[in-house]
């Protein structure tokens, strides 16, 4: 099956009982039991719900994993995966992970005795050097948010395997349509499905896919214990979003490439970061491990004030947190998504005040370029 077909025909299609082509929304919390413990697969919706289950089967299928799990947000998914570990365990992470991941690690999970080290996972030597006796996993985000740094998933997974560690990949930016970490050797994939998978700025959700029955049992145990589940209506929205993911990603990729080239040639713009540009150091690696460069571009306009002026003049780029929607969105990471990262650390990483991040939507690219051209004048 080819990728676009799999997005539509993968998982559980429709409803066997009625023949409905679209998965029904099972708005239900509990299920009748014929006798104690005798039921038709579902007993209580925290443990399992048919609509959520259809989504979980579909995401497992399109990520080539063993099982999938749907959570109330990307952060709920990431935090629940971290709950697989115990006090005293150590995890190595990509240094410019999403600000919310950084925050939950440094302000919440560290209070429970978990240890973390942030390194440039694009440099395998740094990863190797960070591993300690108590290390249990390597958590990668690739490409990163907002600096679009690329990590070699296959190389890190092979190293992790040789040391008996898990590899966890945040695949939010690439989506299962463009990159499949499990096929490259990773054990666990996490998504903020709020982004491209939902795709229409109308749902907050997270997904986890694991590559083995053992991990599936562990993640389900945590999910059922903590209760950070996705509701049936939102599960249905994600099933619908996944059906058009291929079409949307093709369009976002092609629009982003043209916009990145336009920005790179523009005199009012400093550095432009987009993995599809010749100037991007991770371009070859992206070509090897992904089927496209994605829809995210970061560029430096020089200062906080200039970023503010640009935002005020744009018509089609909505100033908003989030990304991955049909509409183009723009943000200033230092003041928005990454404001929770201390200023010194942002400076170390290169998240400067004039850095602007755009999530390219699926509008006509001519309109988007004209809008940017007028605003940059």
- Min dist. Cβ of residue 322 to ligand PLP (A): 6
- Min dist. Cβ of residue 101 to ligand PLP (A): 6
Alpha carbons 216 and 210: distance in angstroms, whole number? 6
Alpha carbons 80 and 226: distance in angstroms, whole number? 8
- Min dist. Cβ of residue 175 to ligand PLP (A): 11
Whether 98 is catalytic: yes
Q: Which of 98, 159, 236, 274 binds ligand PLP (CB under 6 A)?
A: 98
- DSSP-assigned letter for residue 174: T
Q: Which of 135, 157, 180, 192 binds ligand PLP (CB under 6 A)?
A: 192
- DSSP-assigned letter for residue 201: S
- Does the footprint of ligand PLP cover residue 234 (CB under 6 A)? no
Task: Please report where in the chains the tokens 């092609």 appear, as a residue.
Answer: 254
**CA 374 to each of CA 256, 268, 309, 371: distance values in angstroms, whole numbers, following the listed order:** 18, 12, 12, 5
Q: Which is nearer to ligand PLP, 55 or 376 (CB)?
A: 55
Q: Which of 98, 177, 196, 274 is catalytic?
A: 98
Q: Which is nearer to ligand PLP, 306 or 357 (CB)?
A: 357
- Min dist. Cβ of residue 67 to ligand PLP (A): 20
Alpha carbons 137 and 159: distance in angstroms, whole number? 11
> How many residues sit close enough to ligand PLP to count as binding (CB under 6 A)?
14
Task: Answer for the pair 156, 136: CB distance below 8 angstroms, yes or no.
Answer: no
- Min dist. Cβ of residue 41 to ligand PLP (A): 28
3-class DSSP state for residue 227? coil
| Torsional class of 221: left (φ above 0), alpha (ψ -120 to 50), beta (otherwise) | alpha
Q: Where are the alpha helices (DSSP H) in 152-293?
A: 153-162, 175-178, 213-226, 232-243, 245-264, 283-289
Interface stretch with ligand PLP, choices 8-16, 70-78, 109-117, 153-161 (CB under 6 A): 70-78
Interface stretch with ligand PLP, choices 52-60, 98-106, 211-219, 354-362 (CB under 6 A): 98-106
Task: End-to-end CA distance of the chain: give it in Å, rounded.
Answer: 47
- Min dist. Cβ of residue 294 to ligand PLP (A): 11
- Does the footprint of ligand PLP cover residue 141 (CB under 6 A)? yes
Q: How many C-alpha atoms does 75 have within 13 Å on its Cβ side? A: 11
Phi, psi (deg, nearest 5) at residue 189: -115, 135
- Min dist. Cβ of residue 145 to ligand PLP (A): 5
Whether 283 is catalytic: no
Q: Which of 61, 96, 152, 170 is catalytic?
A: 170
- Min dist. Cβ of residue 360 to ligand PLP (A): 15
Question: Following DSSP, what letter does each residue of 64-100 receive, concatenated?
Answer: T-SEEEEESSHHHHHHHHHTTS-TT-EEEEETT--HH
Alpha carbons 1 and 165: distance in angstroms, whole number? 31
48 class by beta-carbon count within 10 Å (0-12 exposed, 13-18 middle, 19+ buried): middle
Task: Answer for the pair 26, 18: CB distance below 8 angstroms, yes or no.
Answer: no
Q: Which of 49, 51, 73, 257 binds ligand PLP (CB under 6 A)?
A: 73
Tell me the residue nearest to ligand PLP as measured from the CB: 74
- Does the footprint of ligand PLP cover residue 354 (CB under 6 A)? no
- Does the footprint of ligand PLP cover residue 8 (CB under 6 A)? no
Q: Which of 54, 58, 75, 203 binds ligand PLP (CB under 6 A)?
A: 75
Q: Which is nearer to ligand PLP, 187 or 375 (CB)?
A: 187
Q: Which of 6, 52, 149, 195 is catalytic?
A: 195
Q: Which residues make beta-bridge pairs with 166?
A: 137
Whether 31 is catalytic: no
- Does the footprint of ligand PLP cover residue 331 (CB under 6 A)? no
Per-residue contact flags (x/-) with ligand PLP for residues 260 to 289, judged by CB under 6 A: ------------------------------
Whether 202 is catalytic: no
Q: Which of 25, 124, 155, 204 binds ligand PLP (CB under 6 A)?
A: 204
Q: Footprint of ligand PLP on this chain (CB under 6 A)?
A: 73-75, 98, 100-101, 141, 145, 170, 172, 192, 194, 204, 206
**What residues are labeled active site?**
46, 98, 170, 195
């Amino acid at each position: 099956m080819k990728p676009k077909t799999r997005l539509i025909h993968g998982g559980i299609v429709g409803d066997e009982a009625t023949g409905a082509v679209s998965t029904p929304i099972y708005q239900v919390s509990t299920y009748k039991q014929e006798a104690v413990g005798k039921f038709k697969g579902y007993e209580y919706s925290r443990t399992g719900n048919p609509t959520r289950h259809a989504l979980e089967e579909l995401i497992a299928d399109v990520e080539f994993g063993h099982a999938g799990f749907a959570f109330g947000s990307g952060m709920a998914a990431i935090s629940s995966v971290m709950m697989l570990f115990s006090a005293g365990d150590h995890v190595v992470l990509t240094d410019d992970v999403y600000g919310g991941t950084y925050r939950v690690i440094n302000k919440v999970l560290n209070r429970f005795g978990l240890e973390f080290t942030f390194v440039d996972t694009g440099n395998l030597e740094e990863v190797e050097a960070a591993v300690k006796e108590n290390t249990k996993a390597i958590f990668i985000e690739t490409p990163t948010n907002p600096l679009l740094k690329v990590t070699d998933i296959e190389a890190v997974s092979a190293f992790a395997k040789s040391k008996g560690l898990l590899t966890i990949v945040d695949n939010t930016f690439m989506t299962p349509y463009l990159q499949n970490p499990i096929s490259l050797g990773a054990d666990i994939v996490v998504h903020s499905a709020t982004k491209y998978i939902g795709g229409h700025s109308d749902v907050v959700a997270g997904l986890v896919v694991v590559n083995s029955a053992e991990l599936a049992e562990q993640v389900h145990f945590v999910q059922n214990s903590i209760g950070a589940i996705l509701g049936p209506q939102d599960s249905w929205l994600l099933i619908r979003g996944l059906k058009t993911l291929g079409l949307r990603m093709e369009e976002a990729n092609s629009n982003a490439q043209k916009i990145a080239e336009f920005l790179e040639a523009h005199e009012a713009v400093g550095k432009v970061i987009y993995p599809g540009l010749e100037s991007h150091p991770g371009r070859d690696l992206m070509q090897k491990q992904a089927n496209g460069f994605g829809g995210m571009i970061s560029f430096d306009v020089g200062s906080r004030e200039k970023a503010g002026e640009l935002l005020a003049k744009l018509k089609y780029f909505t100033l908003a947190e989030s990304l991955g929607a049909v509409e183009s969105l723009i943000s200033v990471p230092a003041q928005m998504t990454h404001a929770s990262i201390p200023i010194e650390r942002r400076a170390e990483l290169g998240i400067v005040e004039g850095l602007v991040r755009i999530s390219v939507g699926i509008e006509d690219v001519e309109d988007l370029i004209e809008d940017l051209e007028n605003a940059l004048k």
